[in-house]
Each structure stands twice: as structure tokens, then as C-alpha cells.
Structure 1
């Protein structure tokens, strides 16, 4: 089981002076970002893969996804999941007036595979210790 620490935070009612009645919610600790260097180090130690190989695969995967988006809008990455390109756009009454300028915002959606979603079942959420709260810089945690 993977331990994921959380803390208790408060939220007031929106639109009420002074916050209205407060409610308490669990929240994930702000985590430090895992860098590419962290990923390479972990894979090198846990899976006995050379750092240079991991770096080459990351670069190749990034380049391949960008290249394939030119001809595909859905890229299946097997056990990782898939990447899908979508667009936000505006419309016209006349089809001859529709141009590329009607595309407002392209977005990439990344979805986890079933295998990755299954792995989420093994996460166990536990209340963060005082030292974890301090290390994460959480000041407004409720001690309950």
C-alpha cells in the first residue's frame, strides 16, 4: 500500500460575510514537484535502467507524441493510457466562412489506462504527521 498523507482544511461559505459556517475537508499536502531528474534517478535505482536510456526514451516519447499529433488526434500509449487532442472553437452560419481562426484553444487530454487506475486502489490515505505538515509548509491545518 502506498501512503498518501492529507491534512484537514477549512472552507467558508461563498458569498457570506466572515465566511459564514465553516466546513472541514481533507486536502492533499502540497508536494514538491518530481523533476525529470527525479524520474531518471528513481527508474535507475528501482528498475536497473541506465539514466541515459531513460532520458532518451523521455525525449523520444515527447517528440513522437508531437509528431503523431500532426496526423492523429488520439494516441494510445498502452499501459500508460492515451493522449487525445481536442479543440475549443466558435461557429458560423455559413460553412464557407469557417477558418482556422475559429479555433480558439487546442487542448491535450491525458487519460490513465485501466491498469494505472487499478494502481490507485492501493493508495492508503493517512492523516499527515506534524513533521510532514511542517515540511510541506502547511500553516492552516486543523489539529483534530
Structure 2
């Protein structure tokens, strides 16, 4: 008899939920679910990313990488948009280098590159091995 009562109560609860898996406190009040929306370019720029010209050296490139990653987190930037948004902050020689790369591989290929791959390409381009060795020696 108790089993039938428990089964009936559970069935009634399931019927009133209508498949809604939202969380309730048990007293009728629902917790507000946080909806994360996709980052737009405007959201990204509001986080004030750094600009990179390609003439600043290893330290500034490293700071640019770190700031970009912070902006990605703060703005909820999707993986698909990271390279696209980050490369919009390139200026001068760095922008010329990026545009040359895009012309070589096409837009579709360039913007499917991962953030890690972009960092490797930029490190190769803007961090000559001899400059890195010089910094390591100073440290």
C-alpha cells in the first residue's frame, strides 16, 4: 500500500514536470538557469583586447597571447571565433603578414586554424630563435 502511494506521488510529480529537467528547490521556487549566449565581435572588443603590430618583440607578443586568452574567457568567445577575432587586432607588419597568409591558404582554411596553431605561426614569425636565446641568457 505504501509502495502504491509512493508510485502515485512520483507519477504525479513526473506528470507536472512535463519533461522539464530544470532544478527546483522543493518548495516551488525555481532556480534561474544562466543562459550563456555566443560571443559577438562587439562583446569581444568591449573586453579591450591588445593590438599587435609585429614590431614589439617577444615580450609584447607573449603579453598579446595572454591578453587574448583572457579576453576569450571573459567574452565567452567560442573556439570557432578565436582566430577570426584575434587577427582583427593585428596592425602594421603583423596585419600584412596575416593577409599574406590568408591569400596563400584562402579565408576558409585560415579561419579554421586553431588558436594554438596561430600562436605557433606567430611565435615562429615574430620570435627569432636568437632573440629568445638572448632573453633566456638575460634571465
TM over 0.5: no
Structure with more strand by fraction: 1
Q: Tell me the TM-score normalized by structure 2.
A: 0.23
The structure richer in helix per residue is 2
Q: Name the structure, 1 or 2, with higher relative contact order (CA <8 Å, separation 6+).
A: 1
Larger Rg belongs to: 2
Q: TM-score, normalised by structure 1?
A: 0.22
